[in-house]
Structure 1
Amino acid sequence: MQITQIQLQQISLPLQTPFVTAHGTTKLRITTLVTVYLDNGHSGVGELTAFTDSRYLPETQASAWTVLQHEIAPLLRGFEFTRPSELTTYLQQQLRGNQLACAAVETAVWAAYAKRQQQPLAQLLGGNVRPIPVGISLGHFATTTELLAQVTASVAAGYQRVKLKLTGPADVAQVAAVRARYPKLTLMVDANSAFTPADLPALQQLDQLDLALIEQPLANDDFVQHAWLQQQLHTAICLDENILTLADVQTAVALKSCRAINLKITRVGGLTTALAIVAFCQQQQIQVWCGGMLASGVSRAFDLALASRMEFTLPGDISASARYFKQDVLQQPLELRHGCLQLAATPGLGVTVDQQVVQQHLLKEKWLRL
């Protein structure tokens, strides 16, 4: 197989409500759909999930567009491969970092390859098409009353796990209020590095609230202090932002920095690396679950396909299309039924992009002819 063309479509998707984390507030999600066309007639769509600034990860929409146009596309000109994993290996040998840019192409190739193999992507990845239990990630709210209302709505909608975003030690009281209201709810928190080792007393308070996980409490590039903190807590620490490669997971396990990994497909460079991380975590008895990047339904479809594997026992951050966006880009938006989402059992990704919606939200478009 060879890639003959790559289509980049940058779009702007308004959120239903502002999404607040320790990194800032998002009201409008700018993202890029990346469609690859193969010489065998098949095509697949992926997504460049970088943000417009580097507060979460070093890559941005602007930097990744540059890499896609001036590095990845030239590298792939005339490149022959038989499986997506060969393309992944090649890009990793030729480039340093740039996981989000590489993943945008690599995941699209996986979708096209699944069509070629006449299989649903979920099945090709070792899972199966079935209803996938999912959770919801709630941004920070100024008042406990607002937060409790959102948690109540999420539980009523059927979400099987709720994650609360924290902005610092002052938010512990809100988490305690949620736990008091819902003593049996599968509840976890995500600090996005909003704590320091000096905040141990606040973290120990969280440790008393029967949480499934405490995600990324300390610095995004730290493994050593997280290992120290894990020794102080009964609750499992989950690493997120500092997991960019399989080697990062191996480092975390060697240092005992965590007992769980939030696996984000695009942040680790695509599905090939994601599968390697899943296998390693299974071997090391580290819990792995599927996180999200506040991305469109295209990325959520990849998340669902991966989360269909048996290793994923904790519902991931793969909420329904209507949870975040006023209008998603899928012809048939992902809808929550009995706490689950399900892809179509058709060859490929299992969703179809609605180009009419894309055109309504299009910021810019570029064709890269290989």
Structure 2
Amino acid sequence: MIRIENVELHRVRLPLVHEFQTSSHAKRSLEHILVMLRSADGVVGWGEIASPSGPFYSAETVESCWAVARSFLAPIVLRTSWEHPSELAAAMAKVRGNHFARAGLDVAAWALWSSLQGVSLASALGGERARVSAGVSLGIEPTIDALLEQVGARVAEGYQRVKLKIAPGWDVAPVRAVRSAFPDLPLHVDANGAFDVSDISVFSALDELGLLMIEQPFAPRALVAHATLQSSISTPVCLDESVEDVEDLVTALRLRAGRILNIKVSRMGGLTFAVRAHDLARASGVPVWCGGMHEFGIGRAANVALSALPGFTLPSDVSGSDKYYARDVTTSPIVCVDGFVDVPSSPGLGWEPDLDFIAAHATDRVALPA
């Protein structure tokens, strides 16, 4: 049985190399919570709580995750003995919701457990690939010319798919411009739920631009609206915010609310539940890809490992560290070469945390038990 003797939480802030604008807000820097678990025999696992700072993508924030992880999840972790990470995930699931907070500790448990087993995190999860195809996500730019410049730079770097954020007023025109400039580029759009059913003409126009998918056009709980849209356009609808757990996915599949699933480790409460969503989607014939939350290197490493599973047939948001950060929290950055990221074969997470760099950029730290 594995028993965790120490939990450390580190709030770390890093500047972004390029401002990122979505339909709801702009980001110039990010603060995430890094999680360290140490077992009774001294083995360490790291995870990342990659929640947004504000309650725009989800109800969770850095502040709420800090409070929940410190006051509720860490005590559960410290008093639970387990043989497999899924058992610890089940214990933490007693805390309802709070998927981002739970995800960070779940990833740390998987990293620790795979180290104990002497296998890579990807192998522990059931991964089969030695490298994964990488896409990249681009925010809303001040002008269409600026957007075209960003797309051109990412294409030159070899990324195999480009995702464009859209919002009311920034939708058909910029996407049409990108499609005109890059006619063969695998391209998709992400609305983060900013539209409603009155905007059907927008999606009818986007349907003509040869997109891979239209991601999360409507609000998270609007599954019937997504199903209605999917039945009226040929472009696959991809669900993101609508699927926080496997039960949501069951409902979405029954309603035929989309034909593609974005699996985010953070949104789904960790690797345990992300793997279950992958398994169900694969059994149902639904392609999946791994979405990102601008994770630092630790959370990004978990995404790389997850993307090695066989059902991830579309390029995932596992772009190189340099796309977002001048320097990452790991001793070596995650690198994308010719559109691919190598999957580590060494035991555990595959990338080591840079403890001095983390300490230098931490805004707060707590160790439990004190």
| Partners of 1:283 and 1:271 in 2: CA distance | 18
| Partners of 1:331 and 1:343 in 2: CA distance | 16
Unaligned runs of 5+ in 1: none
The residue number in structure 1 matching 2:365 is 365
The residue number in structure 1 matching 2:144 is 144
Unaligned runs of 5+ in 2: none
2:280 counterpart SS class: helix
Q: Which amino acid aligns with 2:339?
A: G
1:112-123 map, 5 Å: 112-123=112-123
2:266 matches 1:261: no
Q: CA deviation at 1:169?
A: 4.6
Q: Which amino acid aligns with 1:240?
A: D
Q: CA deviation at 1:128?
A: 3.8
| Partners of 1:276 and 1:117 in 2: CA distance | 21
The residue number in structure 2 matching 1:291 is 291
CA offsets per residue over residues 223-274 of structure 1, 9 Å max, x none? 1111111111100000111211000111110111111111001111111111
Q: Which amino acid aligns with 1:216?
A: Q
Q: Which amino acid aligns with 1:309?
A: L
The residue number in structure 1 matching 2:39 is 38
CA offsets per residue over residues 312-357 of structure 1, 9 Å max, x none? 1111111100001122111110111111112432100100111122
1:132 counterpart SS class: strand
Whether contact under 8 Å (2:16, 2:325) holds in the other structure is: yes
CA offsets per residue over residues 128-153 of structure 1, 9 Å max, x none? 46221100000011211111111111
Whether contact under 8 Å (1:129, 1:345) holds in the other structure is: no
The residue number in structure 2 matching 1:345 is 345
Provide TM-score, normalisation by structure 1.
0.97
Using the TM superposition, name which of 231-240 and 355-364 deviates more: 355-364
The residue number in structure 1 matching 2:252 is 252
| Partners of 1:343 and 1:254 in 2: CA distance | 34
The residue number in structure 2 matching 1:86 is 87
Q: Which amino acid aligns with 1:314?
A: L
Using the TM superposition, name which of 338-347 and 308-317 deviates more: 338-347
Q: Which amino acid aligns with 1:167?
A: A
CA offsets per residue over residues 37-96 of structure 1, 9 Å max, x none? 11132111000111221111111111111111211122233311100011111222x221
1:1-370 map, 5 Å: 1-92=2-93, 94-128=94-128, 130-369=130-369
Q: Which amino acid aligns with 1:8?
A: L
Percent identity of paired positions between Structure 1 and Structure 2: 37
| Partners of 1:170 and 1:87 in 2: CA distance | 43
2:65 counterpart SS class: helix
Whether contact under 8 Å (2:76, 2:91) holds in the other structure is: no
**RMSD value, Cα:** 1.2
| Partners of 1:283 and 1:115 in 2: CA distance | 29
Whether contact under 8 Å (2:128, 2:310) holds in the other structure is: no
Whether contact under 8 Å (2:33, 2:66) holds in the other structure is: no
Q: Which amino acid aligns with 1:25?
A: A
| Partners of 2:140 and 2:330 in 1: CA distance | 27
2:82 counterpart SS class: coil
CA offsets per residue over residues 16-37 of structure 1, 9 Å max, x none? 0110000200001011110101
Provide TM-score, normalisation by structure 2.
0.97
1:2 counterpart SS class: strand
